[in-house]
Amino acid sequence: MNIIVCIKQVPAKDAPLAISGNWIKESDIGFEMNEPDSYALEEALRLKEKHGGEVIALSMGPERVKQTIKEALAKGADRAIHVADDNFHQLDPLGSARALAAAIQKEKCDLVLTGLQSDDHGFGQTGVLLAGLLNLPHATLIMSIEAAEGKMKLKRELEAGWFQWIECPLPAVLSIQSGINKVRYATLKGIMAAKKKEIATVTRESLGVSAEATQRVEKIYVPVKSKQTEFLTGSAKEVAAKLVEKLKFEARVI
């Protein structure tokens, strides 16, 4: 089974964020593998260990993304594709999905895995759009994959502690739920072995994908922390009425 895992590099969780234009200041922060994608990678490696085949790590972004690609290779991916793009943070989910889809179409693969969402933008759409563009079946919130003879039995997470079992043909695109497996370490041997693995670099232009945005970020800002406490007085009835008023017109939540 040949599996492509889409892996994004995102700002490190403890990075101090400063805003620059409509993105964050990147010069002074560390980056890491998007955590939801690390579960997708782990799932791919486990499927490969069971069924054979190849795991290909696919990542888009500027040169620094290589660090994350190398991590995926060190953990056991066989080779990698880097869609080099210095302005990728300006892409909307459709733009990203188009570029990734174009890269995937050049490969023969049975399964495409993505994480559920990215820890930076958090759109949670790339996987879904990718399936649409590739014209492949898709399922999200995958808890487990049992593959056999051209199809898979999938466990999905629903609301309120419910699960769903579905059958899905191969090839397909799946978005993996976070936390479903215990992610392996990159061993020192793995890190050294990764040096010999191939990282193919392509550009978005060479894939013929335009940068035309369907969506534009107007502004990003750090939410201002503000806490207010107000005591309402009166009889229970009066207080309830005042509360409803405030919720309706001040907090605007009902």
Partner 1 sequence: MATSVTVKTAAKGGNFLLEAALPGDIFTPADFTDDHRLIAQTAEEFVTKEVLPRVKEMEEKKPGLMVELTKKAGELGLLGSSVPEEYGGGGLGKISTTLVTEKISVYGGFATTFGAQTGIGTLPIVYFGTEEQKKKYLPKISSGEWLSAYCLSEAQAGSDAMSLLTRAELSPDGKNWILNGQKMWITNGGFADIYIVFAKVDGEKLSAFIVERTFPGFKPGNEEHKMGIHGSSTTPLFLENCVVPRENLLYEIGRGHIVAFNILNSGRFTLGVSCVGGAKQGIAISSKYAKERKAFGKSIGEFGLIREKLAEMAIRTYAMDSVVYRIAGTIEAAMAAAEGSADKTQQMMKVLEEYALESSIAKVAGSEMLDFVTDEGVQIFGGNGYHEDYPVCRAYRDSRINRIFEGTNEINRMLIIQMLMKRAMSGQLPLIPAAMKLADEILAGPSMDEAPEGVLAEEARVLASAKKMFLQAAGGAVQKFREKLADEQELIAALANMVMEIYIMESALLRAQKAAAAKGQTASAAMIAAARVYVADGAERVEHEARRALAAVHEGDMLLTQMAVLKRFGKRATPDTIALRRVVAAAVQAQDKYPFEGK
Beta-carbon contacts of 238 under 8 Å, excluding residues fewer than 6 positions away, are: none
What are φ and ψ of residue 147, in 5° steps? -100, 140
| From 62-70, 134-142, 143-151, 243-251, span contacting partner 1 (CB under 8 A) | 62-70
Please, which residue, 189 or 227, has the CB nearer to partner 1?
189
Q: Tell me how far, at minimum, the Cβ of 174 lies from partner 1, in Å.
A: 26
| From 24-32, 46-54, 144-152, 218-226, span contacting partner 1 (CB under 8 A) | 24-32
* Beta pairing, strands 79-84 & 199-203: parallel
Peptide bond just before 171 cis, omega within 30 deg? yes
Please, which residue, 25 or 51, has the CB nearer to partner 1?
25
Residue bearing tokens 């943070």: 89
Among 13, 27, 221, 228, binds partner 1 (CB under 8 A): 27
Binding to partner 1 (CB under 8 A): which residues in 135-194?
185-192
Q: Tell me how far, at minimum, the Cβ of 16 lies from partner 1, in Å.
A: 5
Alpha helices (H) along the chain: 35-51, 65-75, 93-105, 126-134, 188-194, 236-249
Q: In terms of Cα–Cα distance, which of 90, 88, 109 is closest to 204?
A: 88
Binding to partner 1 (CB under 8 A): which residues in 66-85?
66-67, 70-71, 74
Q: Tell me how far, at minimum, the Cβ of 190 lies from partner 1, in Å.
A: 8
Q: Does 30 bind partner 1 (CB under 8 A)?
A: yes
Q: Does 21 bind partner 1 (CB under 8 A)?
A: no
Q: Does 105 bind partner 1 (CB under 8 A)?
A: no
Residue bearing tokens 């990728």: 88
CA distance 205 to 247: 50
Q: Tell me how far, at minimum, the Cβ of 42 lies from partner 1, in Å.
A: 14
Binding to partner 1 (CB under 8 A): which residues in 195-214?
195
Beta-carbon contacts of 220 under 8 Å, excluding residues fewer than 6 positions away, are: 19, 22, 23, 24
Q: Tell me how far, at minimum, the Cβ of 192 lies from partner 1, in Å.
A: 6
Taken as a whole, the chain contains a residue count of 254
Instruction: Take residue 246 and report the two structure tokens written for it.
Output: 């405030």
Q: What is the DSSP string of 135-187?
A: T--EEEEEEEEEEETTEEEEEEE-STT-EEEEEEESSEEEEEPTTSS-PPP--
Q: Tell me how far, at minimum, the Cβ of 19 lies from partner 1, in Å.
A: 14
Q: Does 219 bind partner 1 (CB under 8 A)?
A: no
| From 10-18, 87-95, 96-104, 243-251, span contacting partner 1 (CB under 8 A) | 10-18
Please, which residue, 70 or 138, has the CB nearer to partner 1?
70
Counting residues that bind partner 1 (by CB under 8 A) gives 20
Please report, as ranges, the residues that interact with partner 1 according to CB under 8 A: 14-16, 27-28, 30, 66-67, 70-71, 74, 185-192, 195
